């Protein structure tokens, strides 16, 4: 009885949090606690598929046998790919069993890293970089364009289950800001990809979403046809000739 009252109270608190105006920065897809639900409870069976059991063994073999727990991040990542982009508590419990640690050791990791989603995401989870260089180059407009086009709030999933939009810290592609990552969970762990789309505009990001909707894979990387990778727009401005050979330093050979 007491347990049910506590769960009810936590549910009320969660609803209050959800009604608050959206914080300007919010990472990951859930608050840092778990409440049992019909699709997320420790009683629901979950284990790696046969193919992923083999992958898990291979991952664990990279670590000394008395440090199996070091495999926690790649195993959570594999579990998330298998589970369509999110980690129910039973998947985390399974990972804890595989690496022989208490479940709390796995929960600590899954709640700390924003790449781990503990609520459902879309088949295509779109992560907008919100760190300073991308922000200065228009990441807010990119996110607004995505949210408006898809008719969702941040971390909500579209009704057809195809898309969700989240936010990430710098993904190391600042020179091609603004950028997003598309985590593609549409083909399970076998077909999983995590691709960068850079030099975006509010219009281009919508075109990319629509290409995914049609089942296409739009070309990743810079979306600015005037640039090669992260080179300057309009072509090189330095290193314009072939490199000269180094001066001869071996007097006998010169
Ligand atoms: S700030 Fe966006 S990739 Fe670095």
Instruction: Find out if CATH 1.10.10 is the number for domain 27-112.
Output: yes
Mean model confidence pLDDT for the chain? 89
- pLDDT value, residue 163: 98
- Alpha-helical (H) ranges within the chain are 2-19, 50-60, 72-82, 89-98, 103-112, 132-136, 139-150, 202-213
- pLDDT value, residue 247: 75
Hey, what are 117's tokens? Answer: 């989603």
- pLDDT value, residue 238: 85
Hey, what are 53's tokens? Answer: 């059991």
Hey, what are 194's tokens? Answer: 């995590």
Query: Region 17-45: what's the mean pLDDT?
Result: 71
Distance CA 102, CA 247 (A): 62
Pocket test for ligand 1, best of 177, 180, 197, 221 (most atoms within 8 A of CB): 177
- Domain at 124-222: CATH code: 3.40.30.10
The ligand 1 atom at the shortest distance from the C-alpha of residue 177 is: 2
Distance CA 201, CA 191 (A): 27
Task: List the beta bridge partners of residue 196.
Answer: 181
Query: Region 238-242: what's the mean pLDDT?
Result: 86
Query: Region 226-236: what's the mean pLDDT?
Result: 87
- pLDDT value, residue 235: 83
Query: Region 98-122: what's the mean pLDDT?
Result: 95
- pLDDT value, residue 12: 63
pLDDT at 171 over 80: yes
Instruction: Give pTM, 2 decimals.
Output: 0.82
Q: What dihedral angle (degrees, nearest 10) is formed by the CA atoms of 173, 174, 179, 181?
A: 30
Pocket test for ligand 1, best of 173, 198, 230 (most atoms within 8 A of CB): 173
- pLDDT value, residue 21: 47
Q: Which residue has the tokens 């291979």?
A: 58
| Contact present, 123 and 186 (Cβ < 8 Å) | yes
CA of 143 to the centre of ligand 1 (A): 14
pLDDT at 27 over 80: no
| Contact present, 140 and 180 (Cβ < 8 Å) | no
Q: For the chain, give the percent of residues with pLDDT over 70.
A: 85
Domain boundaries, the chain: 27-112, 124-222
Which residues approach ligand 1 with their CB closer than 6 A? 129, 131, 133-134, 170-174, 177, 179
| Contact present, 59 and 78 (Cβ < 8 Å) | yes
The ligand 1 atom at the shortest distance from the C-alpha of residue 171 is: 3
Q: Which residue has the tokens 């997003």?
A: 180
CA of 169 to the centre of ligand 1 (A): 7
Hey, what are 89's tokens? Answer: 């508590």
């Amino acid at each position: 009885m007491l347990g049910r009252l506590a769960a009810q109270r936590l549910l009320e608190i969660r609803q209050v949090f959800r009604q608050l105006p959206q914080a300007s920065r919010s990472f990951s897809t859930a608050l840092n606690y778990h409440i049992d639900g019909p699709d997320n409870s420790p009683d629901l069976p979950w284990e790696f598929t046969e193919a992923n059991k083999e992958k898990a063994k291979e991952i664990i073999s990279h670590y000394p046998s008395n440090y199996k727990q070091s495999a926690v991040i790649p195993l959570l990542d594999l579990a998330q790919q298998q589970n369509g982009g999110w980690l129910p508590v039973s998947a985390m419990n399974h990972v804890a069993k595989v690496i022989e640690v208490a479940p709390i050791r796995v929960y600590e990791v899954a709640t700390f890293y924003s790449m781990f989603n503990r609520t459902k995401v879309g088949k295509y989870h779109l992560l907008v970089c919100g760190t300073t260089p991308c922000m200065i180059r228009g990441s807010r407009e990119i996110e607004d364009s995505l949210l408006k086009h898809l008719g969702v709030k941040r971390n909500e999933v579209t009704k057809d289950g195809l898309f969700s939009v989240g936010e990430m810290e710098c993904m190391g592609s600042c020179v091609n800001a603004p950028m997003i990552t598309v985590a593609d969970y549409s083909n399970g762990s076998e077909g999983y990809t995590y691709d960068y789309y850079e030099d975006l505009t509010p219009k281009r990001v919508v075109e990319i979403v629509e290409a995914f909707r049609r089942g296409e894979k739009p070309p990743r990387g810079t979306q600015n046809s005037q640039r090669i990778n992260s080179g300057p727009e309009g072509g090189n401005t330095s290193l314009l000739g072939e490199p000269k050979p180094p001066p001869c330093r071996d007097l006998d050979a010169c």
